[in-house]
Structures are given as structure tokens and as C-alpha cells.
Amino acid sequence: MTLTKEKKTEVIKQYSVHTMDTGSDEVQVAVLTEKINELTEHLKVHKKDFSSRRGLLMMVGKRASLLKHLEKSSKQKYLTLIKKLGIRK
């Protein structure tokens, strides 16, 4: 149910701005999106796992606030990221 170390490293490498980047908005949003996708698949099977559902909702809220911050700071980075991740219209 959690993101494996290899998968997380791959996501960080794909969305990082520079070589040692693990905390930029783009990387954080990408990692949260991967976690959200995995947890969504888990909840399709385990419909009554309410504690995981709560965690999912908290992750979605965190991702939304990071995206809002990214949109305010750099509109072009925001548009590029949501297109790459396919999370908005």
C-alpha cells in the first residue's frame, strides 16, 4: 500500500529540478500523486477501510495546497506539471 523506495526514487528523478532536489513543489506533488493513485486502487478493493480513506483525503488536501502555491508562484510550471501528471482538466 505504500510507495516502494525504487518507485519513489524514480518519481523524484523524473520530476526534480536539479540533481539533489527532493523538496520542490513539483516533486512533492508528483510523489503525493503516486501515493494517491496507489491508495485509490487499494480502496477500490477494500471499501470499508475508513482510516485509509481519511489518509487519502488528507493527501488530496495537501496536494491541492501545494498546487495552489505552485500556481501562485509560477503559472507555467503549474500548467506543465498538471499536464504531465494528468490530474486536472
Question: What domains are there in the chain, each with its CATH number?
Answer: 5-85 (1.10.287.10)
- With beta carbons less than 8 A apart as the criterion, state whether 62 and 32 touch: yes
Distances (CA, A) of 64 to 8, 9, 39, 41, 88: 20, 22, 17, 20, 11
pLDDT digits (tens, 9 = 90+) for 37-70: 999 999 999 999 999 999 999 999 999 999 999 9
Quick check: 89 pLDDT over 60?
Answer: no
pLDDT at 12 (0 to 100): 92
Percent of the chain with pLDDT over 90: 87
